[in-house]
Amino acid sequence: MTPLRAILRLHSPLGTPLAGDTLFGQLCHTVREMLGEEKLEALLDGYTAGNPWLVVSDGFPSGYLPRPTVPAALQANKEEDPAKRKEAKGKRWIPHDQVHLPLRQLLGIAASDEDVYGKEVCGKQNKPIQAVAFHNTLNRLTGTTGTGKFAPYTQSQTFYQPDQHMDVWCVLDEDRLPRATLHQLLEYIGNIGYGRDASIGLGKFAVEQMEETALPKHTHPNANVYWTLAPCAPQGQGFDTLRSYWQVLTRFGRHGGTLALGANPFKQPLLLAATGAIFVPANNMAQTRFIGNGLTNVSLIQKTAVHQGYAPVLGICMEAI
């Protein structure tokens, strides 16, 4: 499995957060559209048995990774002032060039949104802003809006600075799919739009670069825990649950493509460990690029549907409390 970094340049706001499991689902739809149903079935062979063809991370501001999710007891400087504790919570990004540090030092050098996206200039925010946009549907008989399905409505969107660069980390089995083909799949998604409301211009991006990354080799030499870069399903992996730390994420998935227009576009709710989780292996640390499970039985109308319960991981050294 080859670790890759795709650098994306956003061209429009996002209607759906750039989440690894959501992006993986759209990549599967794109494989079916571009390469055919048989190719998708071949790629998904063994997916729920610990043999994924691809594992995708969330999208992060270029040059940074998500801060690990750990309790305050593990932090190097335990702040007593509530205002400073709140400020420390806002520092949620770790620079790439610091991943070799042990956990407490990583937390100590975490960067804030202001550090990552830039300071406010002339009252204009540089960090991403969530805001609502107004939409309407015209009644073609009257040429106006109206009531019911023709009533004006709002949808939330995440606005970034023009040409914001984002990193997506991938673990790819190049024996099953060439790196160049993955690049083409991502470009296709960037052209048609990722996630919700792509048909009205959201989720557009360009793939600036896709490169093999040596970042996993630069982690701490005595790494003893896994640090996840996407939501995952860690059950049955033999982790020490008393020493692992994660936040629970409920994923309310839905189908894409033609199934999104059906009577029941929604998938079964899933409980996942959110991005940035720390998992401690019960035994020795294995050399792996990802952890988790491929999930099935996620849809009532498409029995073969799967959900990415895998996450790319980096190894870090967690000191004892």
32-70 per-position pLDDT tens digit = 999 999 999 999 999 999 999 999 999 999 999 999 998
The answer to whether position 39 is within a domain reads: yes
**Rounded Cα–Cα distance for residues 160 and 115 (Å):** 15
**pLDDT digit string, tens, across residues 213-251:** 888 777 888 888 999 999 999 999 889 988 899 999 999
| pLDDT number for residue 189 | 95
In the chain, the DSSP E strands lie at: 2-10, 54-61, 64-66, 91-95, 111-112, 129-135, 153-159, 165-172, 205-212, 225-228, 248-251, 270-273, 278-279, 290-295, 307-316
The answer to whether position 56 is within a domain reads: yes
Joined together, the tokens standing for residue 71 give 């309790």
pLDDT bracket for residue 304 (50, 70, 90): confident
**Rounded Cα–Cα distance for residues 69 and 226 (Å):** 11
Predicted structure pTM score: 0.89
Q: How remote is the C-alpha of 268 from its chain's centroid?
A: 19
**Rounded Cα–Cα distance for residues 240 and 226 (Å):** 12
Count the domains in the chain.
1
The answer to whether position 142 is within a domain reads: no
Q: Tokens 């109206």 appear where?
A: 146
**pLDDT digit string, tens, across residues 254-301:** 877 777 777 778 888 999 999 999 999 988 777 889 999 999 988 888
3 state SS of 206:
strand
The answer to whether position 143 is within a domain reads: no
The answer to whether position 36 is within a domain reads: yes
| pLDDT number for residue 124 | 56
**pLDDT digit string, tens, across residues 1-24:** 899 999 999 999 998 999 999 999
The answer to whether position 51 is within a domain reads: yes
Enumerate residues 6+ apart whose C-beta is below 8 A from 92: 66, 67, 110, 112, 113
The chain-wide mean pLDDT, for the chain, equals 87
The candidate with the shortest Cα–Cα distance to 191, out of 6, 3, 8, 2, is: 8
| pLDDT number for residue 145 | 82
| pLDDT number for residue 147 | 79
Query: SS3 letters for 113-177?
Result: HHHHHCCCECCECCCCEEEEEEECCCECCCCECCCHHHCCEEEEEEECCCCCEEEEEEEECCCCC
Which structural domain, as residue segments, surrounds residue 275?
2-116+162-316
**Rounded Cα–Cα distance for residues 273 and 233 (Å):** 6
The answer to whether position 78 is within a domain reads: yes
pLDDT bracket for residue 119 (50, 70, 90): low
| pLDDT number for residue 220 | 80
The answer to whether position 213 is within a domain reads: yes
CB 3 within 8 A of CB 216: yes
